[in-house]
Structure 1
Amino acid sequence: MAPSKNNLILSSNDTSFNNTTTISLDEESMCYDNKITNTTKGEDNLLPKHIDGPINKSNVNTLNIIAENESCLGNSTKNMTEYSMTNHYPNNFIHDNSNEKEIIKNKDFNNILKLDSSINTYGWIAKGSKKPIDHRLPFQRPPLIHCVKQLPFALRYLGYWLKNYKNRENLFINGFEPYFHHPYYGVPLGGIGTGSIGRDFRGGFCKFSLRPGIVEQQVKFIKANQFILSIKKDGTTIYQKVLSAVFTMDKKNKKLNNILKKKKKDTLSAWEFNFPEDDLEYRGLYPRSWTKYHIKECNVIVVCKQMSPVIPHDYKNSSLPTSIFEFEVENNSDDDLDISILFTWRNGTGNVKWNKEGNCETETFNFNENNNIIKGVTLKNTIFGMNCIYGLSGIEKKNQNISICEKFNPSGNGYNIWNELKSNGKVEKIADNSFDNKEIGVGVCISQNIKAHEKDSYTFNLVWHMPLIYFGKKNRLMKRRYTRYFGCDDKAIDNLIKYSFLNYSNWSKAIEEWQDPILKNNDYPDWFKSALINELYYLTDGGSIWIEYDDEWEKSEPSISEYTKNVFKEYGRFGYMESWDYRMINTYDVHFYASFALATHFPKIEHSIVSDFTDQVDRSESKLTKYYMENVKAPVKTPQRLPHDLGNPAMEPYINSNCYVMHDTAHWKDLNLKFILTAYRNYFTLRNSDIEFLKFVYPKVKSLIEVGITEWDTNNDGMIENFGVADQTYDAWKMVGCSSYCGSLWLSALRVSIEMARDIGDVEGEQKYSSILEKAKNVFNTKLWNGKYYNFDESRLSSTTIMADQLAGYWFLHSISKDLAQTILPFDRVYSSLITVYEYNCKKFNNGNMGVVNGMKPNGKVDTDHIQADEMWTGITYAVASSLIQIGEVDKSFEIAYGCYNTCYNNAGLQYQTPEALYSKNFYRAIGYMRPLSIWAMNWEMTKKEKVN
């Protein structure tokens, strides 16, 4: 019987909202679906005030309090003041003092964090009671003028949506049901491309993406997946609770409170889900996190260190579906205590579709590996028809005992396993046969006696072995990357578990070695260290897919070249989603920005992606499809064009690319040019002028440049033109004629094409592109330079708009070679343009507190003539910030980047789900987005700057 659902109406008391949120909650996993309903405002507030706030430099007392907050995390007031005075923070932040006393209490936060001394100052910090102060919802309410303009498109899209209503998951974008953010996300579990499992910073497990490319974001938490702490003194249990504050009642949310009370009669009602949220503290520093629990009743402190093996340039360990949980338990009491920690898990992903999909099987194991005693249990189940085996285990150290629960009912009241733990401090004898094998929970318990004023550690491991996967249409079975090392049979999970325990110490050291140069870099403010490292969460949690090459692909994808086949065989095929909301693999106009993260940490994966797209250039698919924005039918894939994406994971990607049907992207001006630039970086920087790759890619580069010359330069002046539609990554922002955005990309693409032509010996191409470049430079400067910045385009409506991203091509080219960049545009004009962007798009937008808005009028008003012009794009903010580093304005760079990070991570509850766009207030768009990985372009530039110095 499927869990029942209840509807909960919650509304904001903020007068700026005219909406309520309807939440459907299911009983066991608390999945919910959100809808915006127009109604009057109510009394209940889903999003109470946040405890934490930014700095007001004009108020010395506030500064000292915030410094004390940082001090409790290992920083000093002196350092904090230095950062403020060097403009690493804006001047006019607003501070919420509502939780100063609670903040000051936490000065001992690092005293127990002895596992990794290098992280004592750094990461994203939250108390269990942390709530947003910047209340936002998904954007669904464009101004009336835009509604009128977009009405024909909206009606066409509605028809498309209704046609797919029963299979809405198949939509590449579900525009009428966007994801709502959950303000409690923490660092996710797992390597990259192996399927991830989400964590709530309050202790819960949530948001699985074990199905390739599909993030089940509606799963808020799973009641059966928990850590439970039990403490005995002199044989009597004095404490037993679930180590999670997810279920703590919020007195302000009365309706939610009442629903949870009703639930208490049903699923796992015997378990104590009332851990005080104020007694929990969290630090996230991907791929690690630390959760500290204060057990005040017993004078015990418990710290859980979570770690997944994401290690730059380590293509084996980073592919593994495993996470380690290392608990350090400190007994500060005067009594010896028997302390047990129980780790429980159930089948499925929390999605009710898979809770009873097939029969489950469990099996216990006991390994002695290099004198390490490893005990645990495996749970075999199916998810969307794919076999998945969960493995729970622990290391049994001297003076410890591990007991195993092979089976309990995860949808029952949980009494048997709870009472066994409470009575005996272990879970060996569970008499629970009141259910079938459709739903099974398992558990691993580590117990030991800890003497008064001593401490010890307990180590658990979670593995999910899902070696063979398929996409939504189930046409091709594929092997995950890690199977290269461990195989696909069921017994592979035994080796994964052993390998995890034998290597986790080495993983920890390798992660420290990777992150230490960043964390100890005195040129980086502490918040930036958190932003930089934590934004990498998307490599794990962006629906990423990493699969092994299969010779069978030649039949369904004849366009795969011998070169790319060899790359796939060595490094695999990698994909990640544009967004949790926008399910398209490797959306290239966005990957252009995000690619700095892969180029920095996994350049072989970046090479695989570039090689994959190189084969796509000549590929064609003449089948006609409807493009809803322009209401035209055109081929799915036009030759001599880069595809927008490699397909929808809910369908059959790779075989079917270009699932984006808003526009016919064959007419987009940026895709081809962005590919040329990334291909040159791949050749020149990542592969050290690899001539074999150049021979492979140059013919495609040449054909793409020729398209620009023959089809996009309509007046033969050397400069391409935009055609009065949204024909680039700003897909709701029209450009006319010569535009600064596409024009700068064209100049840069020509420049690197000259270099590639010269290196490969194409004298004719070199001369031709050099001649066109000189003409194009003259046109760009003559038509767009206004003495202060480059105009947006040649249209009457928006020509003088100050576009934040106006020099995207120059920025990317400069990241490859400063010398090449300075040959296409005068430095003084580049400098003036970027300072203008800083002064207008940053300082005149939300008082400089929220990054850079895309479009600003020269009168200091946000450009509202087009949708997207009035948005702040997080990834563009970080890209512009790196541009400012290129021109020597490091302080201004950190200032605009901080506004973006502070809004997302500290104020709006958007941490570990950074959206594509934020509006000045109330709204965001497309959470869990790829483009913010562009923050690594800032590190790219800072690293080059350090080498020069």
Structure 2
Amino acid sequence: MTNKSSPQIPSCTWSRPIGLGWDKPYTVRYASNVDDGPWHGMPLGGFGAGCIGRSSRGDFNLWHIDGGEHIFKNIPACQFSVFESDATSSQAYALCTEAPEDGSLQAWQWYPTSKDGVTGTYHALYPRSWFVYEGVYKAQLTCEQFSPIWANNYQETSYPVAVFLWTVRNPTNAPITLSIMLTWQNMVGWFTNALKSPEIRLRDDGSPVYEYQPRLNESKDNFNEFFEDTEYIGCILDRLGIGEPVQEGEGQWCIATRKDPNVEIFHHSRWNPVGTGEDVWESFAQNGSLPNYINKTPAKEDEQIGAALAVRFTLQPGATLQIPFVLTWDFPVTEFAAGIKYDRRYTDFFGNNGKNAWAIASTALQQYQIWQQQIQAWQQPIFERADLPNWFKIALFNELYDLTAGGTLWSAASERDPIGQFAVLECLDYRWYESLDVRLYGSFALLILFPELEKAVIRAFARAIPKSDDRRRVIGYYYTIGAESPMAVRKVAGATPHDLGAPNEHVWEKTNYTSYQDCNLWKDLGSDFVLQVYRDFLLTGADDVQFLADCWNAIVETLNYLKTFDKDGDGIPENSGAPDQTFDDWRLRGVSAYCGGLWLAALEAAIAICDVLITNYQGVKNTEELTEQKSIYEAWLQQSRPIYEQKLWNGQYYRLDSESGSDVVMADQLCGQFYARLLGLPDIVESDRTLSALKTIYDACFLKFHDGKFGAANGLKIDGSPENPKATHPLEVWTGINFGLAAFLVQMGMKDEAMNLTKTVVQQIYDHGLQFRTPEAITAVGTFRASTYLRAMAIWAIYLVLS
């Protein structure tokens, strides 16, 4: 608790007046999609450790404690409160602008907002956020919140911890006494599915879903223990009867602070968080104290208990004090289907017995200042770049929220996986992991900042490609269009899986969870895999030849499999007319610009990989096989390249495909060319044609789509009109595709256009209540689809090409 000047909040943060609502926040396009409303704040917690979220009105409302599961609910007893008094008056408020809807905690006073909504400001720049309280207290109060996340950090980034660093200054000419209280409800045991291995059903949009029943409010046998040592003091929130091995949902919470001779610390280890709240509020509101009540009695059936910690101090005129609080949790096990359990990554550093919340809290209180410095050192070079506007820096960092809040998994290390296995959900509505088509753009953030985690994901795909799963299932797309569905095999050997599985089965082992389309028939996934393998090798130093070797057999297998869809023998696999690629409501027929271009780029990447392995890989006893494989890819490429031009180039842009007769301008038609140039491979199309296509896309899909107010729609006619006014995907603005397109524009020297497009999409997200739940798709009528979407981290692709 050092005396310091007021904290420096970066000039580039997303900010909003505390408690100010939204007049017309965007709402979901389909009723079955998740729509929590706009009260989302920056998440707190390490990758794969579970996370919590606190909104700009001050409530803790996001609870991703169970890996892959989503709970959005204000738990009112989890709260900061501040008492203040001087010679003339005193006041105390819980620092949330909304009183509980259930009528609990009626003794508490809730933080006011004035008529214009400004009694302070919330700032967010992931992984840090700030509450600056103004106009209510006489003291100047700022609370900085963060978790220890910074680039290339594979230890602290996994910790289940939130630091709350309070900076308090007395600007008056008289002493002020203040007390800061943190209250927390004992929620041990709540965050696990009461339904083990639930049945899968089809939702109205054709997506597979399963029921999730968390054990909210099941607190029997929970107890709270006051704890202190020579340096720290706090409360551990625990449960009786936790044995070994620990089960999912079992473990501890902890709230703690540092001892200091300048402050008094009070505690209450057992109060009723669903009553009036007077058991803590009466003494706190009177003089900032708590009764120092210690009671370890476990909760009875239907009883709830909370813990409280308060720090009281007096500030002389002009004085400043910093007070750290930490919140930690230790729930070491993630369980998928019944009996399929993984320890979380942080257990490599703290153990897996579920009794380490205090050890994590002590570490945090010892190291939080170092963590703060590490975060600043990572972000500062980007802050200092004059060529990047502030709005871009804000979105660049804040879109990383998904690495924490995206249902993230990060398993403990093993001999096979020395930093564990990693995965992020496609989104909250399509709840399966690391969809390969989506991460073609969405994985740039992970690649740039945590390259070893990125390679771990790709290795998981490489392992999955040879495997098969003969279970048969219906395809959801046919369900949505009212047609009878063919029965499809879940996973064909040699096919690149769409995803790495879902939280209710066995992530990393049971792949291809989605059944909206038959992903064994998709024409982009194999190419996506090859391109990401070579990209991850090249852009992480081009020296991890073992990574290429680990993926090589899967590359050969998936390209051979994909080539079987070249039905006419012209060299390029054809799209079948079913939606068989990432735009999975959009029928492409014959050779398509999107999938065909990815195929060409993937062949070039495979040839480059052959060269690296022939030259550098010591494990190759005989290079003849590699040389032969290279010649096969060269022959395919030589045959394919002219076909792509002949069938698709129309003199201005590349046609959607060769057989549908569509004249639509597809925004992502040249994704393959973007990747080829990004990876230093030969252009798959001439640069003048690339520029012509990009200018056409920019004009037709962006400027002519509602006067450029929303971003680039996926596909419009050259005059900006829809080919089919009732179409879904062509008329949506996909945030990640737009960021990918912007990166392509930068790559081709169209930086002004790129930044104009990017800024428009960023404004759609951050001006309409979509912050920290960025959707896949936005429409021109103010609706969205698929929140908390992986592809939006493609904004880091723009940063990459700008750098």
TM-score by structure 1 length?
Answer: 0.76
CA distance in 2, matches of 1:848, 1:208: 37
Shift of 1:640: 0.3
Partner AA of 2:473 in structure 1: T
Q: Point out the more displaced range, 187-196 or 787-796.
A: 787-796
Quick one: which of 922, 925, 929 aligns to 2:782?
922
Q: What is the distance in 2 between the residues matched to 1:397 and 1:282?
A: 28
Cα shift at 1:490 = 4.2
- Aligned 1:199-214 pairs, distance under 5 A: 199-214=54-69
For 1:337-736, what aligned pairs fall within 5 Å after superposition? 337-348=176-187, 353-368=215-230, 373-381=231-239, 386-430=249-293, 436=300, 438-471=303-336, 473-549=337-413, 566=416, 568=417, 570-630=418-478, 631-686=485-540, 688-709=542-563, 711-736=564-589
- 1:127 equivalent in structure 2: 17
Question: CA contact under 8 A between 1:720 and 1:743: conserved in structure 2?
Answer: yes
Give the CA deviation at 1:826.
0.7
Question: Do residues 215 (structure 1) and 215 (structure 2) align?
Answer: no
Match in the other structure for 2:119 = 279
User: Take 2:434 and 2:14, find their aligned partners in 1: how far apart are those partners?
Assistant: 28
Tell me the distance in 1 between the aligned counterparts of 2:547 and 2:308: 51
Identify the range of structure 1 (872-881 vs 680-689) with the bigger mean alpha-carbon deviation.
Answer: 680-689
User: Paired residue for 1:139?
Assistant: 29
Q: Quick check: 1:201–1:282 contact (8 Å CA) kept in 2? A: yes
1:654 is paired with a residue of what secondary structure? coil
What's the CA shift string for 1:313-364, capped at 9, x where partnerless? 0100100000110111122233212100000010226998321243212111
Contact 1:409–1:435 under 8 Å retained in 2: no
CA offsets, 1:827-858, max 9 Å, x none?
11111111111111111112112221101111
Task: Tell me how far apart the structure 1 counterparts of residues 686 and 714 of structure 2 sit (CA, whole Å).
Answer: 23
Corresponding residue for residue 227 of structure 1: 80
> Any idea what SS the aligned residue of 1:712 has?
coil
CA–CA separation in structure 1 for the residues paired with 2:66 and 2:612: 44
Q: Distance in 2 between matches of 1:774 and 1:509?
A: 53
**How does the TM-score come out when normalised to structure 2?**
0.90
Offset at residue 489 of structure 1 (A): 2.6
Is the Cα–Cα contact under 8 Å of residues 181 and 910 in structure 1 kept in the other structure?
no
Which of 89, 93, 99 is equivalent to 1:241? Answer: 93
CA distance in 2, matches of 1:700, 1:712: 18
Residues paired across the two proteins, number: 750
Higher mean displacement: 280-289 or 625-634 = 625-634
Q: Deviations over 1:530-589 (max 9, x none)?
A: 010100000000010111256xxxxxxxxxxxxxx53x1x11011111101111011111
Deviations 1:229-278 (A, max 9, x none): 111224x861100112234xxxxxxxxxxx95xx4xx4111011242242
Once residues 641 and 378 of structure 2 are traced to their aligned partners in structure 1, the CA distance between those partners, rounded to angstroms, is 41
CA gap of 1:352–1:591, structure 2 versus 1, over 3 A, is: closer
Contact 1:416 1:431 in 2 (8 A): no
Query: How far apart are 1:295 and its partner, in Å?
Result: 4.3
Q: CA deviation at 1:696?
A: 2.1
CA spacing shift, 1:926–1:894, aligned 2, 3 Å:
same
User: Any conservation in 2 of the 1:417–1:430 contact (CA below 8 Å)?
Assistant: no
CA distance in structure 2 between the aligned counterparts of 1:184 and 1:655, rounded to whole angstroms? 35
RMSD: 2.2
CA distance in 2, matches of 1:829, 1:417: 70
- 2:408–2:425: 8 Å Cα contact kept in structure 1? yes
The residue type paired with residue 921 of structure 1 is V
What does residue 311 of structure 1 align with? 150
The amino acid of 1:287's aligned partner reads P
Q: Secondary structure at the match of 2:65?
A: coil
The answer (yes or no) to whether the contact 1:320–1:482 under 8 Å persists in 2 is: yes
Larger helix share, 1 or 2: 1
User: Per-residue deviation at 1:286?
Assistant: 0.3
Aligned to 1:937: 797
Give yes or no for contact 2:107–2:281 (8 Å, CA) kept in 1. yes
- Give the whole-Å Cα distance in 2 for the aligned partners of 1:231 and 1:434: 33
Does the CA contact (< 8 Å) of 1:365 and 1:375 recur in 2? Answer: yes
Amino acid at match of 1:615: R
Q: Is the 8 A contact 1:202 1:280 kept in 2?
A: no
Task: Tell whether 2:162 aligns with 1:331.
Answer: no
Q: State the SS of the aligned residue for 2:229.
A: strand
Partner amino acid, structure 1, of 2:39: Y
Alignment of 1:794-873 (within 5 A): 794-796=658-660, 798=662, 800-817=663-680, 820-822=681-683, 824-864=684-724, 866-873=727-734
Indicate the SS of the match to 2:758.
Answer: helix
Q: Are the counterparts in 1 of residues 236 and 253 from structure 2 also a CA contact under 8 Å?
A: yes
Matching of residues 4-403 of structure 1 within 5 Å: 117=8, 119-140=9-30, 177-217=32-72, 219=73, 221-234=74-87, 238-247=90-99, 260=101, 263=102, 266-276=103-113, 277-296=117-136, 298-348=137-187, 353-368=215-230, 373-381=231-239, 386-403=249-266
Distance 1:575-1:527 versus aligned 2 partners, 3 A rule: same
Structure 2 CA distance for partners of 1:201 and 1:412, relative to 1, 3 Å: same
The answer as to whether partners of 1:595 and 1:934 remain within 8 angstroms in 2 is: yes
Q: Secondary structure at the match of 2:43?
A: coil
- The residue identity in structure 2 corresponding to 1:480 is R
Q: Secondary structure at the match of 1:914?
A: coil
Report the secondary structure of 1:207's partner residue.
Answer: strand
SS of the residue corresponding to residue 326 of structure 1 reads strand
Q: Deviations over 1:707-730 (max 9, x none)?
A: 232x11111111221001100011
Mapped to 2, the partners of 1:741 and 1:680 lie a distance apart of: 19
| CA spacing shift, 1:290–1:415, aligned 2, 3 Å | same
Query: Unaligned regions of 5+ residues in structure 2, if any?
Result: 192-212, 479-484, 615-625
Equivalent pair of 1:295/1:302 in contact (CA under 8 Å): no
Structure 1 segments of 4+ aligned residues over 4 angstroms from their partners: 112-116, 349-352, 381-385, 430-435
Query: Aligned with 2:472: secondary structure?
Result: strand
**In 1, distance between residues paired with 2:428 and 2:360?**
28
**Alpha-carbon offset, residue 902 of structure 1:** 0.3
* Deviation for aligned residue 1:821: 4.2
Pair 696,352 (structure 1): closer, same or farther in 2 beyond 3 Å? closer
Residue identity opposite 1:900 in structure 2: V
Give the Cα separation in 2 of the matches to 1:701 and 1:651. 26
| Residue type of the alignment partner of 2:524 | D
Question: Partner letter of residue 766 of structure 1?
Answer: K
For residue 863 of structure 1, report the CA deviation from its aligned partner.
Answer: 3.6
1-structure distance, mates of 2:659, 2:557: 29
- Provide Cα deviations, 1:418-451, integer angstroms capped at 9, x if missing partner: 0021234221345999973742111111110111
Deviation, 1:413, is: 0.7
Confirm or deny: 8 A CA contact 1:694 1:756 kept in the other structure.
yes
Q: Cα distance, 1:518 vs. partner?
A: 1.0
